[in-house]
């Protein structure tokens, strides 16, 4: 069984896939406790894998993209099986993870890693993009495990102007690898 916080249909507001319609499956619980965390990932519902696949259809119809987020999706033992079931249902699966728990993933799964206090090197190697939270500074110490080929998206915490300035200047100073990622869904007032 899977522990769920919420399932909703919206657009991806951040990162490489900004603007893409997607069904979000927010899994409950996290193995970290970051100071700046503003996500409500508390447990609201327990459901089986087939029920979750049906809820994704009910929320987003035939929307091809499903984003598993949290909390930490890989903190739950059945997340790998959920990914397999969603792919069988014809969905493109993205996962947003803190990268601390190793999970082997099919090549067509998009993995966004947002590194915090530690990381599993296998998840760093597998990451398609890195979302680095900029909160008064760019925490470069979290990037040691990533190779140069992985794009780094600098995301200002809370879209705060001071954090935007720091991220923007850093991206301009390191244009080959770093990009600015804003939480665009917050600008337009969607979830
Ligand atoms: S890893 Fe993400 S969800 Fe977990 S506590 Fe940190 S910011 Fe919140």
Q: What is the mean pLDDT of the chain?
A: 96
Nearest to 76 by CA among 5, 175, 147: 5
Per-residue pLDDT reduced to its tens digit, 31-71? 999 988 889 999 999 999 999 999 999 999 999 999 999 99
CATH class of 2-187: alpha beta
CA atoms of 184 and 85, how far apart (whole Å): 30
CA angle 184, 24, 117 (to 5 degrees): 75
Per-residue pLDDT reduced to its tens digit, 76-118? 999 999 999 999 999 999 999 999 999 999 999 999 999 998 9
The domain limits of the chain are: 2-187
Q: Which residues line ligand 1 (CB under 6 A)?
A: 30, 32-34, 37, 39, 41, 70-72, 98, 116
Which two structure tokens, joined as six digits, stand for 27?
């899994």
Does the pTM surpass 0.85? The reply is: yes
Query: In testing the pocket of ligand 1, which one of 5, 28, 30, 139 has its CB within 8 Å of the most ligand atoms?
Result: 30
Tell me which DSSP letter residue 171 carries.
H
């Amino acid at each position: 069984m899977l522990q769920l916080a919420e399932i909703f249909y919206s657009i991806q507001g951040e990162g490489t896939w900004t603007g893409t319609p997607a069904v979000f499956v927010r899994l409950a619980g996290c193995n970290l406790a970051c100071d700046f965390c503003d996500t409500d990932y508390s447990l609201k519902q327990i459901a089986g894998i087939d029920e979750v696949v049906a809820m994704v259809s009910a929320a987003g119809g035939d929307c091809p993209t499903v984003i598993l987020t949290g909390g930490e999706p890989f903190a739950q033992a059945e997340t790998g099986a959920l990914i397999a079931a969603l792919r069988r249902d014809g969905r493109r699966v993205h996962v947003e993870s803190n990268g601390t728990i190793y999970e082997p993933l099919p090549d067509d799964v998009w993995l966004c890693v947002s590194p915090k206090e530690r990381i599993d090197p296998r998840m760093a190697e597998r990451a398609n993009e890195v979302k680095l939270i900029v909160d008064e500074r760019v925490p470069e110490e979290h990037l040691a495990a990533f190779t140069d080929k992985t794009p780094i998206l600098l995301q200002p915490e809370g879209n705060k102007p001071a954090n935007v300035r720091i991220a923007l200047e850093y991206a301009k100073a390191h244009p080959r690898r770093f990009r600015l990622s804003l939480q665009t869904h917050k600008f337009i007032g969607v979830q």
